[in-house]
Chains A and B, each alone.
Chain A
Amino acid sequence: MTASMQSSVGNPADEKLGMNLTLRIWRQKDPSVKGKMVTYKVTDISPDMSFLEMLDVLNEQLIMQGDDPVAFDHDCREGICGMCGLMINGQAHGPQQTTTCQLHMRSFKDGDSIDIEPWRASPFPVIKDLAVDRRAFDRIIQAGGYISVPTGTAPEAHATPVPKADADAAFDAATCIGCGACVAACPNASSMLFTAAKVTHLGLLPQGQPERDDRVVNMVAQQDREGFGGCTNIGECSAACPKGISMETISRLNHDLLGALRAGARPKS
């Protein structure tokens, strides 16, 4: 992929105050056409800007020039909704272990060249530019990532004590925000960390026990159907995870899966 277009944007008046950067950004109009890397220059970028605010600056300039702004997903911009996610210089969410929205430009220096690409995995097709379709994750949850408890049927909250250590470990796994960085970082494009986080969260709690076997076999079967790759325990997923979901969750999933299969659990077709 090479730069095929050059355009320069920014605010020349205050050039001395901020950084000047070269951005190489993946542009793809829609899923039916081939994309390419396009080079842009931005100037006067404050180190206190978030990475997405830097892209906002670029987009405002592109609109004013009558060009198509760069499409990218984002929403809460406080690191919790999981909507944003960019490959920055080949790393999911960039050089720090955080979400793209929480990455700040102080992580870069004047004159840097930054490559910005979408998550690359066939189960996450590109919608436009840097935005991808991650609904495959929702379908994995649909396959069993829940406890079946219709509204109104719940027992008193204190009826079942939960050891603090279990509750804390369940919480750690439950903090997964479903951003997809694990898939993007994995050489196999495996969704194992995402699936394992949910299997661990629910499997550690007494409320999650009745469906534990069915849950794991069905969620694993669904991630296979979606076309995610197999897990070979490389660990890139956990290293890229903005919430620090541990590889232990994958061990736990494998343990649960073997146990469930031995006990006769089989995925629904």
Chain B
Amino acid sequence: MPLDLFSVGDPIADTKAPTDVPIGERWSERQFRGRLVNPANRRKLTIIVVGTGLAGGSAAATLGEAGYKVKSFWYQDSPRRAHSVAAQGGINAAKNYRNDGDSVHRLFYDTVKGGDFRARENNVHRLAEVSVNIIDQCVAQGVPFAREYGGLLDNRSFGGTQVSRTFYARGQTGQQLLYGAYQALERQIAAGNVEQNARTEMLDLIIVDGRARGIVARDLVTGEISTHFADAVVIASGGYSNVFYLSTNAKGSNTTAIWRAHKRGAYFANPCYTQIHPTCIPVKGDYQSKLTLMSESLRNDGRVWVPKERGDTRDPREIPESERDYYLERIYPSFGNLVPRDIASRQAKNVCDEGRGVGPGGLGVYLDFAEAIERMGRPAVEAKYGNLFDMYAQITGEDPYATPMRIYPAVHYTMGGLWVDYDLQSTIPGMFVIGEANFSDHGANRLGASALMQGLADGYFVLPSTISSYLADGPFEKVDESHPAAVEAMQGVQEQVQKLLSINGTRTPASFHREVGQLMWDYCGMERTDEGLRKAIDRIQEIRKEFWSNLKVTGDWHSFNQTLEHAGRVADFIELAELMCIDALHRRESCGGHFRAESQTPEGEALRDDENFAYVAAWEWTPEGQPPVLHKEDLVYEYVHLAQRSYK
């Protein structure tokens, strides 16, 4: 590995989990050992929460209820818009309501294994423990989960598991869970415990005496750039899938909050771990602005296939059974169409690479419900998947009841994120990171229905408990906008905004975004190679130079300017893209969503290298012109034995 791309620094360790007690007792032990803030003192402490998705919304509401003064920030008009709203399938919890052998330990085990042994055992076990409380909380809030005729909650099995532990609200589980958190948040806003900052974007972190003490934010309506101060800062700004330009994320989802915190000293862990979701609607043209996912619950009843012959352009309904290849059922007889996402995606890519893909450009595979409609009847299929079928018909203009859907993988979720310890605190004291924005629970691959679980676990239960240990030292010395650290951060943001407006080149922010996104999809997507990643890194550096010399942004900064917003986000995506490629290049093993072509079994499955890579790669930002520094956190498996994943 050439030293010019990165250097290796001191190892890093999570010191907060009490490993002197058995894993099942660690979370309660940590809570007991942690310090508390008495209720009368909480109102003297201010906490900034950036983002209002499942993690940020639930955290802001819960901290407000606890009596802290909360300042909440979001870039949309309402907290209810956060992209958690779009999650379809469900939320896992180890309730064992189905008496099918589920337990906290099994959820823990499945998540560690599903994460391809690149997640921390301690965090995952806590997640599984807390999962049961989440369901109780949400039901009490009025989340209308699907129910059985007896009035009890329904469950279903979801990608990659053999028990039915997924709670759902038709195909809109994320929406309903988010509204639960949103309503709790609005209640706290009405009570005066949470200050609301709508259409406001965090653009920098303010650090005073080594502690995160505030943020610089821009009011997206007036353009005003201002400073906000607190005793702690919580970042819940979501994932960075939009580095690929086309992803299933909302158009506004961005990396800016975590990237700028990274540039202030927060380590960025495992940036290359991205999840490519197997069941998305294929790309249709150059103008495509985003990709739409269809819940993988579809794989419970739909069968995935491609023609056996290359270049078979017949109407799928005319291709006889004997000439179809139900490749997931063939390769993975025991899990069949329910193999984890990374495997389903890569196999779709493989059959398309073989020239057996279907639809425009040969970039698609069939997801066929003919057998399910035959078996269950159309009304039952409609009841279960109606909204997803409608969505497909709306977007493609095709009727999925009559002809098989076409699907193709798309970037969907980022397991990487800012490094946090067991308390969810980053390497910057006082800055906590929750939900998809951190790296902590999913290792190299996230299981279906686990993102909602993690977001709400962090926001409702984990962070509100762990943050008190830090705040017990507060309130900290008062700071305001005249503090040199605040002045410096403010000036930096103003200068960047003015620079973006002054280049006056010939390319729009979207054109740079598209270019870097395509590059990432080609070289840092479903399959990565040494050669491809090096090529991508060189090209990203060129794109970055061109961006800062040839960008065109119209208008000014002191007004509503969506082009300027986008430009700032693209600038950060370009820098992040380079780090992702460096991370992917240095990890010369295949694990979970990270598939290195050089590291595979003779059958073409991902081949991990536990000897050399059983660690979290936590990257430190260095000043311009110097390569990032890699800090390794060794992963220890005490309870789940390292094994090659097998779903055959």
Residues of A within 8 A of B (CB): 29-30, 46, 48-50, 52-53, 56-57, 59-60, 62-64, 66-69, 71, 73-83, 98, 102, 104, 106, 127-128, 131, 133-135, 137-138, 141-143, 145-158, 160-164, 167-168, 170-171, 174-175, 177-178, 201-202, 205, 207-208
Contacting pair B187 A146 (CB below 8 A): yes
**Closest residue of chain A to B511, judged by CB?**
A60
Given A151-B61, A157-B153, the answer on whether A131 and B78 have CB atoms closer than 8 Å is no
Task: Check if B508 sits within 8 Å of A64, measured CB to CB.
Answer: yes
Q: Knowing A146-B184, A157-B136, A207-B139 touch, does A138 contact B251 (C-beta < 8 A)?
A: no
Complex interface: chain B residues within 8 A of A81 (CB)? 76, 80-83, 85-86, 250
Of A104, A128, A141, A157, the residue contacting B560 (CB under 8 A) is A128
List of 8 A-B pairs having minimum Cβ-Cβ separation, nearest first: A161-B151, A146-B183, A154-B140, A142-B190, A171-B144, A154-B136, A75-B250, A151-B62
Per-position binary interface string of chain B over residues 68-91, scored 1 when its CB falls under 8 Å from any chain A CB and 0 otherwise: 000000001111111101100000
Which of B555-604 touch A at CB < 8 Å?
Answer: 555, 559-560, 562-563
* B contact residues around A52 at 8 Å (CB): 289
Q: Does B541 contact A (CB under 8 A)?
A: no
17 further A-B pairs in the complex, CB-CB below 8 A; given A63-B508, A133-B221, A154-B137:
A29-B559, A50-B289, A53-B288, A69-B554, A78-B391, A80-B172, A81-B80, A142-B189, A146-B183, A149-B137, A154-B141, A157-B136, A157-B139, A164-B147, A174-B142, A207-B139, A207-B142
Interfacial chain A residues near B486, Cβ < 8 Å:
none
B17 interfacial contact with A, CB 8 Å: no
B460: chain A residues at CB < 8 Å are 151-152
What string of 1s and 0s marks CB contacts (under 8 Å) between B190-216 and chain A?
A: 100000101000000000000000000
CB<8 Å pairs between A and B, sample of 16: A56-B289, A75-B83, A76-B83, A78-B248, A104-B394, A127-B221, A138-B196, A141-B186, A147-B141, A154-B140, A163-B151, A174-B144, A174-B169, A175-B172, A207-B139, A207-B142
- With both chains docked as a complex, state the minimum distance between the C-beta of B503 and any C-beta of chain A, in angstroms: 13
Residue of A nearest to B75 (CB): A75
Measured CA separation A60–B187 after assembly (Å): 41
- Chain B residues, CB < 8 A from A150: 62, 65
A178 vs B184: C-alpha distance when bound (angstroms): 16
Question: What residues of B have a CB within 8 angstroms of the CB of A135 in the complex?
Answer: 77-78, 198
Q: Which B residues between 113 and 146 are near A, CB-CB below 8 angstroms?
A: 133, 135-142, 144-146
Q: Give the residue of B77, B82, B149, B559 whose beta carbon is less than 8 angstroms from that of A30.
A: B559
Q: Are A104 and B79 in contact (CB under 8 A)?
A: no
Q: Is the CB of B186 within 8 A of A76?
A: no
Complex Cα–Cα for A14 and B146 (A): 49
Tell me if B492 counts as interface (CB < 8 A to partner A): no
In whole Å, how far is A154's beta carbon from the nearest beta carbon of chain B? 4
Known: A127-B221, A157-B139. A71 touches B76 (CB 8 A): no
Q: How far is the CB of B341 from chain A (nearest CB, A)?
A: 18
Instruction: Give every chain A residue within 8 A of B187 (Cβ-Cβ).
Output: 142, 146, 148
Give, as a whole number of angstroms, the nearest-CB distance from B305 to chain A: 24
* Given A78-B292, A143-B190; A151-B464 close (CB under 8 Å): yes
| A141 & B563 in contact (Cβ 8 Å cutoff) | no
**B141→A149 contact, CB < 8 A:** yes
Known: A128-B559, A151-B464. A80 touches B85 (CB 8 A): yes
Considering residues B65, B289, B460, B464, which has the most beta carbons from chain A within 10 angstroms of its beta carbon?
A: B289
Chain A binding surface, main DSSP class? loop
Q: Are A134 and B142 in contact (CB under 8 A)?
A: no
Q: Is B32 an interface residue (CB 8 A)?
A: no
Question: Please, which residues of chain B bring their CB within 8 A of the CB of A67?
Answer: 554
Cα of A154 to Cα of B76 in the assembled complex, Å: 30
Find residues 488-542 in chain B having any chain A CB closer than 8 Å to their own CB.
506, 508, 510-511
CA distance in complex: A138, B287 (Å): 34
A98→B391 CA distance, assembly (Å): 10
Given A104-B394, A157-B95, A78:B77 Cβ within 8 A = no
- Nearest CB of chain A from residue B547's CB, rounded to whole Å: 15
- Name A96's closest neighbour in chain B (CB-CB): B394
Chain B residues with CB below 8 A from A177, complex form: 85, 175
Cβ–Cβ < 8 Å partners of A30 in chain B: 559-560
Supposing A56-B289, A75-B250, A76-B86 touch, asked if A138 and B152 sit within 8 A by C-beta, the answer is no
Smallest CB gap from A70: residue in B: B562
In the complex formed, the residue of B with least CB distance to A148 is: B187
A residues near B33, Cβ cutoff 8 Å: none
Is B324 on the interface with A (CB-CB < 8 A)?
Answer: no
B9, CB-defined interface residue at 8 Å: no
**What residues of chain A lie closer than 8 Å to B461, measured between beta carbons?**
151-152
Pair B142/A79 contact, Cβ less than 8 Å: no
Q: What residue of chain A has the Cβ atom nearest to residue B154's Cβ?
A: A164
Residues of B within 8 A of A145 (CB): 183, 186
Cβ-defined contact, A46 with B151, below 8 A: no
CB neighbours (8 Å) of A170 from chain B are 142, 144
CB-defined contacts of A69 to chain B, threshold 8 Å: 554, 562-563
B290 interface residue per 8 A CB criterion:
yes
The chain B residue with its CB closest to the CB of A149 is B140
* Chain A residue with the shortest CB-CB distance to B59: A151
Is the CB of B395 closer than 8 A to any CB of chain A? yes
CB distance from B502 to the nearest CB of A (A): 14
Residue from A128, A143, A149 whose CB has the most chain B CB atoms within 10 Å = A149
Assuming the contacts A63-B552, A157-B95, asked whether A77 and B290 have C-beta atoms less than 8 A apart, the reply is: yes
CB-defined contacts of A63 to chain B, threshold 8 Å: 508, 552-554, 563
B170 within 8 A of A: yes
Q: Does B285 contact A (CB under 8 A)?
A: yes
Query: Please, how many angstroms separate the alpha-carbon atoms of A205 and B138 in the complex?
Result: 13
- Please give the distance in Å from A25's CB to the nearest CB on chain B: 15
Is A53 in contact with B176, judged by CB distance below 8 angstroms? no
**A205 closest partner in B (C-beta):** B142
A137 to B81, CA, bound (A): 12
Which of chain B's residues has its CB closest to A137's CB?
Answer: B78
What are the residues of chain A within 8 A of B142 when measuring CB–CB? 147, 170, 174, 201-202, 205, 207-208
Known contacts A149-B140, A151-B461, A205-B142: A138-B186 contact under CB 8 Å:
yes
Give the residues in chain A near B510, CB-CB below 8 Å. 56, 60
For A202, what are the chain B residues with a Cβ–Cβ distance below 8 Å?
142
Name the contact of B250 in the complex, choosing from A46, A71, A77, A149 (C-beta under 8 A): A77
Could you say which residues of chain A place their CB within 8 Å of the CB of B559? Answer: 29-30, 128
Chain B residues lying within 8 Å of A79, measured Cβ to Cβ, are 391, 394
Contact yes or no, A151 B391, CB < 8 A: no
Q: Contacts A56-B510, A154-B136: A131 and B560 contacting too (C-beta < 8 A)? A: yes
Closest-by-CB residue of A relative to B172 is A175
A226 to B: closest C-beta gap in Å: 14
- A80 vs B293: C-alpha distance when bound (angstroms): 12
A128–B223 alpha-carbon span in the complex (Å): 13
Query: Chain A nearest CB: distance from B229 CB in Å?
Result: 24
Could you tell me if A138 and B79 are in contact, using CB atoms closer than 8 angstroms?
yes
Decide if A68 touches B555 in the complex (CB within 8 Å).
yes
- How far apart sit A137 and B179, CA to CA, in the bound complex (Å)? 13
**Which residue, of B77, B153, B190, has the highest number of chain A Cβ atoms within 10 A?**
B77
B85 touches A174 (CB 8 A): no
Cβ–Cβ < 8 Å partners of A49 in chain B: 285, 287
Pairwise interchain contact A158-B153, C-beta atoms closer than 8 A: yes
Bound CA span A26–B170, Å? 38
Chain A proximity of B534: nearest CB distance (Å): 31
| Interchain CB contact under 8 A, A53 and B563 | no
Kindly provide the distance from the CB of A11 to the nearest chain B CB, expressed in whole angstroms.
10
Task: Choose among A77, A133, A167, A178 the residue that contacts B145 (Cβ–Cβ < 8 A).
Answer: A167
Question: What is the bound-complex CA distance between A148 and B137, given in angstroms?
Answer: 11
**B453-504 interface with A by 8 A CB criterion:** 460-461, 464
* Contact in complex: B137, A151 (CB < 8 Å): yes
| C-alpha gap A209/B153 in the complex (Å) | 19
Residue in B closest to A172 when the chains form the complex, CB atoms: B144
Asked if residues A80 and B86 are in contact (CB atoms below 8 Å), the reply is yes
B136 touches A207 (CB 8 A): no
Q: How far is the CB of B606 from chain A (nearest CB, A)?
A: 30
CB of B148 closer than 8 Å to a CB of A: yes
